[in-house]
C-alpha cells in the first residue's frame, strides 16, 4: 500500500493531475500578490540597507522571529470565527491552528514574554520580514509584503514614543525624502477611549467597529465613516460592510471630534481623556527639544489594531502617487505605530510596556518608484561575450575569467543565435559592454569591446560590417582590455 502524504490520497491526486493535464493554466497571480523584477528588488535592497543602518545607528538590535505563530498569539485582534481565516492565512497543525504572521509586533510580544529575564530593559529591537494579510488589496496595499519594525519594550515613558518618531523621520530623510514630502501625524488612543466612555459606547464589538470605521477615513472619506459608524456601507464593488450601529448623537460627536486640529484646545471629558492630553504635551515638548517640526496632531489617526493603549502615530506621504490605472491618488500612510503597554501581559504577568513603529517597505517602494527626486542607482547588467563560433569557447573562457577575477559581472552567450539576436539579448540585459571575438581577434590575441552606455540599441547593428564601423568600439590586447572597462 502506498504511503499517504500530507493527509491526502496519492491516487486521487494523480487522477486530478491526469484529468487536467490538457488544460492550460492561468499564469495570473492571486489578487494582492506580486512578482517583483530587478529594478524594484535592487531599490528594495538599497532601502532596507539604509533603514537597517540607521536603526543600528540609533541603538537598536536586530531580531528575527518565525513566519508562523500559533493563531491565538495573533488572532485575538481579528474577528472571531470557527476557522481563524479573517485577516490571516491559517492551517490546522495537529490539534492547533497556526497562522502566517499578520505583523511583527505580536511575535515580538511572544518573544519578550519567553525571554524576559534575559533581555535588557528597555529592549530596543528592529526586524525586517515578510508578513501576510488576508485583506482586500488596493494601490500599494498587498496581501504579502515586507515590513520593517522598530520597537522599545520595558519602559512606559512616552518620550520613547517621541524618540521613535524622530528616528523614523530621520530614516525617511536618509532614504532620500525631504521634510515636505511627508508628515508625522500623532494622536493618542486615550482621547478616543475617553470620548467613547463619555458617549456610553462600552460594548467591545461596537468599540472595535467604531475604531475600524474611523481608521478607514483616508479610504472612504468622512461620509463613508458616518455610514460605517451607523448601519454600514456598500463600496463600489457591491461589498457591504456592517457598521457600528451607533446613535445619531454619538456619530455627530465623533465626527466633531475628528475635526479638531489642536489638542490644547480640546476640553477634557474625563480622566482617561486628560491623560491622553498630558502625554501629547510631553511628546510635543520632546519634539521642541530636538527642534523637530515635521509633525501635526490629527485625531483621525486611530490605527486599526486594538492593542494600542496610548500615543499613536503615522508617517504620511504628501506627494501624489498614481495607482495601477494611472490615476493620481492620495497615497496616505507608509507606516505607523504606537504604544501597546498590555500586549506582553497576554502571555505572562509582566511589567513590559512597549511602543513601536512599522514601515511597509513594499508600500513605500511603490511610492518611491514614482518620486521624481529619488536617485535610484542605474541597473547594470552583465558584460556579454558574444559567441561567434563554439571553436573559440576556450578563448572566451579566458576573457570571462579575467572579468570575474576583477569582480565584474559577465557571461558568455552560449546560444546559437545570430550576432543581431545576441546584441538584442545584451540590450534587454542592460549590458554596459559587449565583447566580440572572431577569427581575427583570436589569431591576434585581441579583444573587441563595444561600449553600450548612452547609445542607441546596439541590436540595430545588422551585420559585422556595421559593427566594425561603429564609433564606440575599441580593439585591444587580451592582456590590457580590462583598462577599457569602466563600470
Q: What is the reported pLDDT for 77?
A: 52
Strands 123-132 and 61-62: parallel
Q: What is the reported pLDDT for 251?
A: 95
Instruction: Looking at the structure, tell me whether residues 105 and 194 fall in a common domain.
Output: yes
> How many CB atoms sit inside 10 A of residue 167's CB?
20
Instruction: Summarize pLDDT for 425-440 with one digit per residue, the tens.
Output: 999 999 999 999 999 9
Q: What is the reported pLDDT for 458?
A: 54
Q: Does the structure show a pLDDT above 70 at 146? A: yes
Rounded to an integer, the average pLDDT of 134-139 is 77
Domain count, the chain: 2
Rounded to an integer, the average pLDDT of 472-477 is 90
The pLDDT-based confidence of 13 (bands split at 50, 70, 90) is: very low
Q: Does the structure show a pLDDT above 60 at 457? A: no
Give the lowest-confidence range in 5-9, 50-54, 267-271, 314-318.
5-9
Q: What is the reported pLDDT for 212?
A: 86
Residue 33 included in any domain = no
Instruction: Looking at the structure, tell me whether residues 338 and 431 fall in a common domain.
Output: no
Instruction: Summarize pLDDT for 208-245 with one digit per residue, the tens.
Output: 889 888 888 888 899 999 999 999 998 888 888 899 99
Q: What is the reported pLDDT for 133?
A: 87
Instruction: Looking at the structure, tell me whether residues 308 and 434 fall in a common domain.
Output: no
Instruction: Looking at the structure, tell me whether residues 413 and 454 fall in a common domain.
Output: yes
If you average pLDDT over every residue of the chain, what do you get? 87
Instruction: Give the span between the Cα atoms of 167 and 53, in whole angstroms.
Output: 12
Residue 411 included in any domain = yes
Residue 91 included in any domain = no
Instruction: Looking at the structure, tell me whether residues 339 and 438 fall in a common domain.
Output: no
Instruction: Looking at the structure, tell me whether residues 394 and 293 fall in a common domain.
Output: no
Of 338, 368, 398, the domain-final residue: 368
Residue 5 included in any domain = no
Q: What is the dihedral of CA 33, 37, 38, 44, to 10 degrees?
A: -20
- Percent over 70 (pLDDT), the chain: 88
Residue 475 included in any domain = yes
Rounded to an integer, the average pLDDT of 387-413 is 95
Instruction: Give the span between the Cα atoms of 120 and 225, in whole angstroms.
Output: 42
Ramachandran quadrant class, 409 (left: phi over 0; alpha: psi -120 to 50; beta: rest): beta
Instruction: Looking at the structure, tell me whether residues 117 and 167 fall in a common domain.
Output: yes
Phi, psi of 214 (to 5 degrees): -65, -35
Residue 214 included in any domain = no
Instruction: Summarize pLDDT for 248-266 with one digit per residue, the tens.
Output: 999 999 999 998 888 888 8
Phi, psi of 232 (to 5 degrees): 145, 180
Instruction: Looking at the structure, tell me whether residues 430 and 342 fall in a common domain.
Output: no
Of 310, 334, 368, the domain-final residue: 368
Burial letters 142-152, b for 16+ CB under 10 A, else e: bbbbbbbbbbb
Instruction: Looking at the structure, tell me whether residues 189 and 272 fall in a common domain.
Output: yes
Instruction: Looking at the structure, tell me whether residues 313 and 398 fall in a common domain.
Output: no
Residue 172 included in any domain = yes
Instruction: Summarize pLDDT for 345-367 with one digit per residue, the tens.
Output: 989 888 899 999 999 998 898 88
Q: What is the reported pLDDT for 76?
A: 52
- Which residue is listed with cell 518618531? 165
Supply the range of the domain harboring residue 423: 383-484
Instruction: Looking at the structure, tell me whether residues 293 and 436 fall in a common domain.
Output: no
Residue 262 included in any domain = yes
- Percent over 90 (pLDDT), the chain: 59
Of 368, 400, 419, the domain-final residue: 368
Domain with 333 in it: what CATH number? Answer: 3.30.930.10
Instruction: Looking at the structure, tell me whether residues 405 and 317 fall in a common domain.
Output: no
Amino acid at each position: 500500500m502506498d504511503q499517504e502524504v500530507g493527509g491526502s490520497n496519492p491516487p486521487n491526486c494523480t487522477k486530478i493531475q491526469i484529468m487536467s493535464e490538457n488544460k492550460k493554466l492561468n499564469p495570473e497571480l492571486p489578487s494582492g500578490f506580486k512578482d517583483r523584477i530587478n529594478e524594484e528588488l535592487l531599490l528594495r535592497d538599497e532601502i532596507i540597507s539604509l533603514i537597517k543602518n540607521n536603526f543600528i545607528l540609533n541603538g537598536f538590535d536586530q531580531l528575527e522571529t518565525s513566519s508562523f505563530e500559533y493563531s491565538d498569539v495573533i488572532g485575538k485582534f481579528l474577528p472571531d470565527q470557527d476557522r481563524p481565516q479573517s485577516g490571516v492565512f491559517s492551517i490546522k497543525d495537529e490539534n492547533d491552528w497556526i497562522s502566517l504572521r499578520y505583523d511583527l509586533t505580536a511575535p515580538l510580544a511572544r518573544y519578550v514574554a519567553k525571554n524576559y529575564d534575559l533581555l535588557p530593559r528597555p529592549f530596543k529591537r528592529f526586524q525586517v520580514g515578510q508578513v501576510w494579510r488576508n485583506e482586500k488589496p488596493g494601490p500599494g496595499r498587498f496581501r504579502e509584503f515586507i515590513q520593517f519594525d522598530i520597537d522599545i519594550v520595558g519602559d512606559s515613558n512616552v518620550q520613547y514614543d517621541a524618540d521613535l518618531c524622530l528616528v523614523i523621520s530621520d530614516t525617511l530623510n536618509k532614504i532620500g525624502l525631504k521634510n515636505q514630502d511627508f508628515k508625522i501625524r500623532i494622536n493618542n488612543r486615550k482621547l478616543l477611549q475617553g470620548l467613547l466612555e463619555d458617549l456610553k459606547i462600552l460594548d467591545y464589538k461596537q468599540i472595535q467597529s467604531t475604531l475600524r470605521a474611523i481608521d478607514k477615513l483616508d479610504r472612504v472619506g468622512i461620509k463613508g465613516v458616518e455610514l460605517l459608524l451607523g448601519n454600514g456601507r456598500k463600496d463600489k464593488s457591491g461589498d457591504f460592510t456592517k457598521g457600528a450601529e451607533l446613535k445619531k448623537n454619538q456619530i455627530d460627536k465623533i465626527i466633531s471630534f475628528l475635526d479638531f486640529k489642536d489638542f490644547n484646545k480640546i476640553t477634557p471629558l474625563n480622566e482617561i481623556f486628560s491623560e491622553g492630553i498630558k502625554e501629547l504635551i510631553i511628546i510635543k515638548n520632546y519634539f521642541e527639544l530636538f527642534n523637530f517640526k515635521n509633525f501635526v496632531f490629527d485625531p483621525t489617526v486611530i490605527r486599526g489594531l486594538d492593542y494600542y493603549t496610548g500615543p499613536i502615530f503615522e508617517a504620511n506621504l504628501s506627494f501624489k502617487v498614481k495607482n495601477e490605472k494611472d490615476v493620481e491618488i492620495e497615497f496616505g500612510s507608509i507606516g505607523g505605530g504606537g504604544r501597546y503597554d498590555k500586549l506582553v501581559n497576554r502571555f505572562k504577568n509582566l511589567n513590559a510596556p512597549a511602543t513601536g513603529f512599522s514601515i511597509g517597505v513594499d508600500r513605500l517602494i511603490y511610492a518611491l518608484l514614482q518620486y521624481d527626486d529619488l536617485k535610484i542607482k542605474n541597473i547594470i547588467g552583465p558584460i556579454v561575450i558574444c559567441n561567434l563560433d563554439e571553436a573559440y569557447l576556450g578563448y572566451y573562457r579566458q576573457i570571462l575569467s579575467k572579468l570575474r577575477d576583477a569582480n565584474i559581472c559577465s557571461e558568455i552567450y552560449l546560444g546559437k543565435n545570430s550576432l543581431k539576436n545576441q546584441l538584442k539579448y545584451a540590450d534587454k540585459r542592460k549590458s554596459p559592454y559587449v565583447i566580440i571575438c572572431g577569427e581575427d581577434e583570436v589569431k591576434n590575441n585581441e579583444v573587441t569591446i563595444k561600449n553600450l552606455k548612452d547609445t542607441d540599441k546596439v541590436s540595430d547593428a545588422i551585420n559585422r560590417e556595421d559593427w566594425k564601423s561603429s564609433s564606440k568600439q575599441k580593439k585591444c590586447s587580451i592582456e590590457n582590455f580590462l583598462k577599457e572597462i569602466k563600470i
